[in-house]
Amino acid sequence: MNTYSRIPVAFTRGERVWVWDESGKKYLDALAGIAVNTLGHGHPKLTRAIAEQSSRLIHTSNLYRIAEQERLADKLAAISGMDSVFFCNSGCEANEAAIKLARLYGHGKGVEGPGIVVMDKAFHGRTLATLSATGNRKVQQGFEPLVPGFVRVPFNDIESVRQVASHDKSVVAVLVEPIQGEGGINISSMQYLRDLRELCDRQGWFL
In sequence order, the 6+-apart residues with CB closer than 8 A to the CB of 29 are 14, 17, 18, 19, 37, 40, 41
Q: What gap in Å lies between CA 29 and CA 35, rounded to an integer?
A: 10
Q: List the pLDDT tens digit at each of the 207 positions of the chain.
A: 677 788 999 999 999 999 999 999 999 999 888 888 889 999 999 999 999 999 999 999 889 999 999 999 999 999 999 999 999 989 999 999 999 999 999 999 999 999 999 999 999 999 999 999 999 998 899 999 999 999 999 999 999 999 999 999 999 999 999 999 888 899 999 999 999 999 999 999 999
Go through the domains of the chain in sequence order and give each one's CATH number.
1-56 (3.90.1150.10), 91-203 (3.40.640.10)
Q: What gap in Å lies between CA 9 and CA 25, rounded to an integer?
A: 10
Report the pLDDT value the prediction gives residue 182, as an integer from 0 to 100.
85
Q: What gap in Å lies between CA 115 and CA 138, rounded to an integer?
A: 23
Report the pLDDT value the prediction gives residue 34, as an integer from 0 to 100.
84
Helix ranges (DSSP H) in the chain: 32-35, 44-56, 67-80, 91-108, 128-133, 137-140, 158-167, 190-203
Residue 39 identity (one-letter amino acid): L
Work out the angle at residue 99's Cα, subtended by the Cα atoms of residues 186 and 202, and round it to the nearest 5 degrees. Answer: 75
**Counting Cβ atoms within 10 Å, is residue 109 exposed (0-12), middle (13-18) or buried (19+)?**
exposed
Whole-prediction pTM: 0.87
